[in-house]
Chain A
């Protein structure tokens, strides 16, 4: 029953900030990879990322080093959707120590630590990070600001095999071969491994034009996306009492609309798979690994336990 305003800075806001920063862009030359003599530092990797993101680096968002030091030597890089404890363990297992994560390390969008100082799990996770010389870098806003196509959009689009269907005027709309809502939901389940996805709408609804908002979708502009000339909208997650209720009322009033809710991690993690590929293009000194996150949930029809409980 408790309600808290969502403080997440949306990717629309991130893009707006990027555009504002572009107005003051100074010409920067791309640095070449560090010479073999100098060890590769976290800062070196971040500097190269900043130069290649296609938009000037901007402050005021959530992108920063959350744990660890910029001067640490990079042995290997992991990219993940979310810096869960499992993802940290997998990073170590891969022999890497820089984890570039799209979502938080410490359970809030801005990785706010003020209320966590006495939190036992915070201590366990921080200790693990220190013991293994890990560095966690939150890479949310700028990866969405990648041009010409948002890094997350591109990764999920590639995973779906939808490159040819993208609307040339709007990178978030796809014109698909005619299908039905049920068939489209099955396609998402197969290609994104989203076993617990949920759908609002008539399963037999004919679907051709789809609006994506991978990740969390706030009611505005979510309502506008659903109201645009599309048959269905696909998102990561939303709140039941805003966008989902709006979609429910749209269906109840006879509108031919639908909403597919994939889960946050499963909808965006492919963007971090693409991030690994992107990094390999300009960080040749160390291996770069995509660290897949598990789907957090299961349904009673298909109970599974995938969390790694070994320390």
Chain B
């Protein structure tokens, strides 16, 4: 496998070399007056510094892997802008994954899994475990006066919070290759879906309603490209799940053809700005529900529980609000919350996996301040402090995984997390220092310090550390991910 890796993918280099041969100094290639392309060539390497992934131990990995990720990306973004009314955008990715080729301790795994075989409207030209070519986004914008539409394979992002998905829940995520550890948070891992999105900017009212400013109404409909979260494949350094016991025979509930939609209204009253949101979505993560055994006798691989992996529908009611305190306080406060009357969980005491729901409120408040920490002309430091909380009613009757109920999968009625994000640009923004820190009050944490160096218009070098830990190791909590500790770096040439 190692020899094959080095011999077969060399042609991958031809494409980017061809592109790089025609780049202009301004880091964008204008192919014609209306057609341009930009993009980047990037290599990313993550060196594993944590313990062996226990989920992979259970499927036969013998020694700890030294590499979490080695991946080369050639991403191009094509824009067709014939006029101010209509334009088309497309993002094409060519990706080579060398992780398992470089690390003998990793078992074979699929570096480019899909949630289910050919599920969803992925524009993926390949079906390879180490190589991927796909058109990850393709959409057209149409602007007609105050009305704007975007139709196509797109990311729809509502919400303003950092390191937390409260209202930003429309698109599922691809956790398969680097979990949620990318510095751009979700930009590189949100799965674009085929949808129609529209927004209407309401003309400024006069007279009695002049106090209502920048009012807009927005909505979207996904007519059937329902796509679940892509989890890391078994054997992947980021494998999150232990193997499913063979006593469950699982059938996927196909949500293709079902509809997701949402709408919101946003605007300002004085210095208060906010939105009211409604979303009707199917759960991104699957939930198992088992029926009775088909034959008498104990469950076994020969007599399994028929089980459906379901994606329950949820309704979400959300709101966001922000306000800026002027000088000398100079702090911006942002609140965001979403309430679900039917958030899916598992019934705690059911003998076999059974889906139940709980009333759930997820909300967060964030304080932002730009402060000159270093002497000018050095830029101001952005300081962001955020408190997030999840409240679950009847939590004692619920559990988070289909495993038998225990302290390892019970659900707290309240979960609290603090986030502190610092970002400091130096040297005419050629250097950026960052620190993202998350602290779960139940005893788990993540630290991600970062250093970025930019040279000219094209080159970017960045390096980050990821330190996860804490005693709170229940599924989905930061402490359970401490096998993912790493140092990762990226070299990027953008054009």
- Decide whether A and B are members of one complex: no
Chain A residues packing against B (C-beta within 8 Å): none
Chain B residues packing against A (C-beta within 8 Å): none
